[in-house]
Structure 1
Amino acid sequence: MIHLYSDSRCAFSHRVRIVLHEKDMDFKIIDATVNRDDLMQLTPYNETPVLVDDIDKNNKKRDLILLDTNIVSEYIDERFPHPQLMPIEPAEKARMRMALHKLDRELFQHIRFLDANIQSKDPKIKKDIDKIKKQISNSLDEIATVFANNKKMEYFGSNQFTLLDASLLPILWRLNHYEIEVKKTWVNMMKYAEIQFNRPSFLASLTAAERSMKQ
């Protein structure tokens, strides 16, 4: 069975939880905030998510332990191929990996700092937070343009739900939590988001802490 060490407020963990629920297979979520010692035995980085797959108990092989959100998500997609969340054709798969890499560089690289410091009163940290929020906002401007140019686009860069959607939606869900203003030019992107927020796999992926982020 798949075991996912997940933080209840972590956007990286949220991405993987969406993928797991989209696959509708058996798995167990382990709260890393409660099981921090166990997490530290699995990874030296003290970061979530961490996936453990006890793939061959009978032969007593070691469990497969995976770090990194994209590696974990792709493994789940290949291990449980229905529904398919990445293209099969190599060139299209590479394009999606590049798009995921862009999301990580322009959006997700800032998230751990925000999560750790969003409540800080330190003027220097608050200045850094404001700078990061502006960078995220500018990156979302570019994504919003994609939706503005195709007002009927139901999914992000595809004609079906993919890992790109599972990666973008946790950021859009947290805009209020991070106090990032939703611009008028984002209207089509936010319409997309509201539709996908009602997707069964997304609703099932939310923790109690995450549900409160959008209020």
Structure 2
Amino acid sequence: MTLSVQGVGFSYGANRALDAFSFNVERGSFCALLGPNGAGKSTLFALLTRLFTTTEGRIAVAGHDIATAPRKALAEIGVVFQQPTLDMDLSVRRNLTYFAALHGLSGRDAAERSEAALDRAGLTDRAETKARELSGGQRRRVEIARALIHRPSVLLLDEPTVGLDAASRAAITEHVHRLCAEEGLTVLWATHLTDEVRPDDRLVIVHRGRVLADGIAGEIAPASVADTFLALTGAPA
């Protein structure tokens, strides 16, 4: 398993955010972590990225225990957080090369990987454009490209389409699915939007800190992901 979460628990004081939380994601899979706001998705991401720590349960990334080998585990992770994190005054290329330098890449390696990332994201013609001049969807593509600059095996995306229009949401979803299919990237995509889940996606439905369903979306919800989501959580799609 590229990503393994087993029996993880976490509390904010008396508030239980995650309880016996368990699921696995295989290499090259697109896994949608679907839950309403407050379900525990962002708390899980904080644990996966070591912003929070817990002694309850075990998290492993590419075989590395995140508690006992955090550097090796985190080196296998790329992250796109819900809130935008680009430097708006830097060009697209500079956003990428700066991040590459933070990962210890040399000037030549950083430049080569940045060019490859720009090509993969379809943004080569915007390389010298400042981030603030891009559309919301283009900025998200830059963030995804930046998250992959160090060639991680797992990409985490926390509500990556929030604030985007329908066309941009569909384009970003398609782009990330293509990364899975063509490059064997493992993706954990947290969302509350059922229309972002495809029938052949891995689907983990969560609510109030617990996993309610786990499997292939078309098998868990053969008629409608939205109807199944509503039935399990009481939350509208």
Alignment TM class, shorter chain as reference: 0.3 to 0.5
Query: What's the TM-score, normalizing by structure 2?
Result: 0.31
Q: Which structure is higher in RCO with an 8 Å CA cutoff and minimum separation 6? A: 2
As a proportion of its length, which structure holds more strand?
2
Query: What's the TM-score, normalizing by structure 1?
Result: 0.34
